[in-house]
A and B are shown apart, each in its own frame.
Chain A
Amino acid sequence: KAGVTQTPRYLIKTRGQQVTLSCSPISGHRSVSWYQQTPGQGLQFLFEYFSETQRNKGNFPGRFSGRQFSNSRSEMNVSTLELGDSALYLCASSLLSGPNEQFFGPGTRLTVL
């Protein structure tokens, strides 16, 4: 079974731009969660989608948004990029929503200049 894939793997943007990251979950998984990982803040929860509905949201500004499609693939968007948005963005999928094993992708490394 193929693992979680994320595209692109690396991205360089400038302040004020917007970016869209993509995540394809493991086949059959309906829950997709997004995390931001930085050296200072660690792994921070952004949001979780289950069956195309946002189920949970972390403490991030409205510039961070996401969606999930009917095939469970998910995208997250960050608008009006700031330098502090530079991070590794990780996507994780799981069979069910809530507390159970998360399968992580390799991440997208976003650098904002």
Chain B
Amino acid sequence: GENVEQHPSTLSVQEGDSAVIKCTYSDSASNYFPWYKQELGKGPQLIIDIRSNVGEKKDQRIAVTLNKTAKHFSLHITETQPEDSAVYFCAPPAENRDDKIIFGKGTRLHILP
């Protein structure tokens, strides 16, 4: 999406290892940073989000870290499991502060047995 860069586009990790996906945005006024997971045949589903007044949030094996100075936030998945295989999207608010939600291009995560 415009002004949103997500890396990598594809990621393969061994089951049990960690995965990290990074999202870079351009609007310094952004204050809401979500990550969505999309499984095959389904719509995306929010898995974790963070507001700009905190630098990190954790929910079991999933965490999001925010670096407002560098304008990027990352999704961390630890102890990966087969059910983590999916496409992950970041969706920071778009530039111009009109609050449009712009999704990154997505990262396809493969968990290898």
Q: Which of A33, A56, A97, A102 contacts B46 (CB 8 A)?
A: A102
Known: A42-B106, A102-B91. 20 other contacts (CB 8 A): A4-B43, A33-B101, A35-B103, A43-B1, A43-B44, A43-B89, A45-B100, A45-B103, A48-B100, A48-B101, A99-B31, A99-B93, A99-B99, A102-B44, A102-B46, A104-B44, A104-B45, A106-B41, A106-B42, A106-B43
Which of chain B's residues 98-113 have a Cβ closer than 8 Å to chain A? 98-106
Interface residues contributed by chain B, number (CB under 8 Å): 26
Q: Is the CB of B101 within 8 A of A101?
A: no
A56: chain B residues within 8 A (beta carbon): 98-100
Q: Is the CB of A99 within 8 A of B45?
A: no
Q: Is the CB of A58 within 8 A of B34?
A: no
**Chain B positions near chain A (C-beta within 8 angstroms):** 1, 30-32, 34, 36, 41-46, 49, 89, 91-93, 98-106
Residue of A45, A105, A106, A107 with highest tally of chain B CB at under 10 A: A45
Q: Does A21 contact B (CB under 8 A)?
A: no
B31: chain A residues within 8 A (beta carbon): 99
Which of chain A's residues 78-100 have a Cβ closer than 8 Å to chain B? 90, 92, 97-100
Number of A-B contacts (CB under 8 A): 60
Closest Cβ of chain B to A39, distance in Å, is 10
B32: chain A residues within 8 A (beta carbon): 99-100
B92: chain A residues within 8 A (beta carbon): 99
20 A-B contacts (beta carbon < 8 Å): A42-B89, A42-B104, A43-B1, A44-B103, A45-B103, A56-B98, A58-B100, A90-B44, A97-B99, A98-B99, A99-B31, A99-B101, A101-B34, A101-B46, A102-B46, A102-B101, A104-B43, A105-B43, A106-B42, A107-B43
**Distance, CA A111 to CA B29, complexed state (A):** 38
**Distance, CA A42 to CA B38, complexed state (A):** 12
B93: chain A residues within 8 A (beta carbon): 98-99
A42: chain B residues within 8 A (beta carbon): 1, 89, 103-106
The 5 tightest CB contacts between A and B, nearest first, are A104-B43, A99-B32, A98-B99, A43-B103, A99-B93
